[in-house]
Amino acid sequence: MKEYDTIVIGSGVAGLSAAYELKAKQQQVLVIEENLWGGTCPNRGCDPKKILIGGVEARNRIKQLLGKGFSEVPPLNWQELQSFKRTFTDPVSANRQKELSQAGIDHLTGTASFLDEETVEVLGKTFRGKHFVLATGQRPTILPIEGKEFLQTSTDFLALAELPKQLIFIGGGYVSFELATIARAAGSEVTIVHHNQRPLKEFDEELVQEAIVQMKKAGIQFAFDVDTQKITRQNEKLQLIAGKESFEADAIFCATGRQPNVESLHLERANVDFTKKGIIVNECLQTTNPQIFACGDVIEKQLPKLTPVATFEGQYVAQKVTQQQQKTINYPVIPTIVYGSPKIATVGTTKIEEDRQVETVTQEMTSWFTYHRVNEPLAKVKLCFNKENFLIGASVLSEQADELIDFLTIAINQRLTKEIVDQWIFGYPTLASDLPYLLK
């Protein structure tokens, strides 16, 4: 039986961030991965999605400038775009293993299961660790309904060789909004079905509704208050049945949430508690077994389960394991982005209806040069300031919301005011040069 200082289970950004940090502290580290090396983000998550979104963004820019330099909108070639995406995704798994080898980090492909608090089994071999880092991530859930075998997930969508003509996305979260935007730009007929009237519930409701108006103008259909009961196949078509209502499509994708990858770990043997939402951790990311840590999307938490958050947690865990960090984890404000069209982004404190010491300022930015020069149909920001006039939260709706939200995140974390920013000189005209007009 081989022994290690730390065994990391999962090779996504959380696990690898921890592994490299631990190795830098001269630890003997083993990383175990049962599927694609690199995890969800670079293989079947944010990176391939953003590549596909890049094609949508290019097409949108031309669409916005029809009659202002362009006479037609080019079609989005799905096969070519997917081929381009694969130049990024196909090498990921092999590259991650090569990088681990170059760093002198042992790694093994297989499913890890705990035998006891100090031992895991992989492919019939046993390994002992003084510490463990659990970073196995999540996977899409499938609704437990009749006909669930006909449902596909975001993983399936991102791997489509050909795009079906009619698509349905079940769920009103960011996955549905993003994939529907991609599919519609590539020429599919798209419907988003949601069980209530409030999609994207973590985002500003007014901005979400304005985004829906713009998406409807692009041809995306929405069906709210639809409680999906079963899926059936009628000839070559799929039917989504919801009471007396039914919807037809060539493919139906389930985007109703994600679940932690914990089943194969046999956590009970290691005295690690978990729920259906993830592994339970304390403020130091320790599980109920203090020698075992968890980080990334597999843990139970209220914070957004995002790639940069997982990286942050992985680095923190490594510092805790090596006793370089004594404090509890302290998260900065975390921006969250929906890559639809238009994009929606939020950061910090934005739900402040009951706090009279917080002021909300809405800026309509559509006429600003930044947006007018590319003829964006709508650009708006909501800013929340505390009584000392420091920015504490922001929500943005525009095609460039993903870039502006990062500047606003810096402003919150660094407690920037207009007086401070006025002393800086930005490149002009840029999103950054708009920052002085957004702060107080």
- Is 278 annotated in a binding site? The answer is no
Please list, in sequence order, all residues whose beta carbon lies within 8 angstroms of the beta carbon of residue 175, skipping any fewer than 6 positions away.
154, 169, 255
In whole angstroms, give the CA distance from residue 101 to residue 296.
23
HSE-up (13 A, CA, CB side) for residue 401: 27
DSSP code at position 329: P
- Is 376 annotated in a binding site? The answer is no
Place of tokens 């947690």: 313
- Is 202 annotated in a binding site? The answer is no
Structure token pair of residue 37: 């090396």
Give the residue among 344, 319, 354, 358 at the shortest CA–CA distance from 404. 344
- Is 174 annotated in a binding site? The answer is yes
DSSP string, 366-389: TTSHHHHTTT-S--EEEEEE-TT-
Q: Note the maximum CA span of the chain.
A: 71
- Is 178 annotated in a binding site? The answer is yes
- Is 129 annotated in a binding site? The answer is no
Give the residue among 53, 48, 52 at the shortest CA–CA distance from 341. 53
Structure token pair of residue 333: 């404000």
HSE-up (13 A, CA, CB side) for residue 16: 23
- Is 296 annotated in a binding site? The answer is no
Q: What are the phi and psi torsion angles at 134 (to 5°)?
A: -95, 120
Place of tokens 């049962």: 34
CB atoms under 10 Å from CB of 267, counted, come to: 22
User: Are 128 and 2 within 8 A, CB to CB?
Assistant: yes
In whole angstroms, give the CA distance from residue 157 to residue 147.
19
- Is 176 annotated in a binding site? The answer is yes
DSSP code at position 14: H
Measure CA 189 to chain center: 24
Give the residue among 191, 293, 309 at the shortest CA–CA distance from 250. 191
- Is 175 annotated in a binding site? The answer is yes
Q: What are the phi and psi torsion angles at 220 (to 5°)?
A: -80, 130
Structure token pair of residue 426: 């930005």
DSSP code at position 297: G
In whole angstroms, give the CA distance from residue 279 to residue 118.
18
Sheet harboring 151-152: ordered strands across? 151-152, 251-254, 166-170, 189-193, 221-223
Binding-site positions for FAD read 50, 297
Binding-site positions for NAD(+) read 171-178, 257
Binding-site positions read 50, 171-178, 257, 297
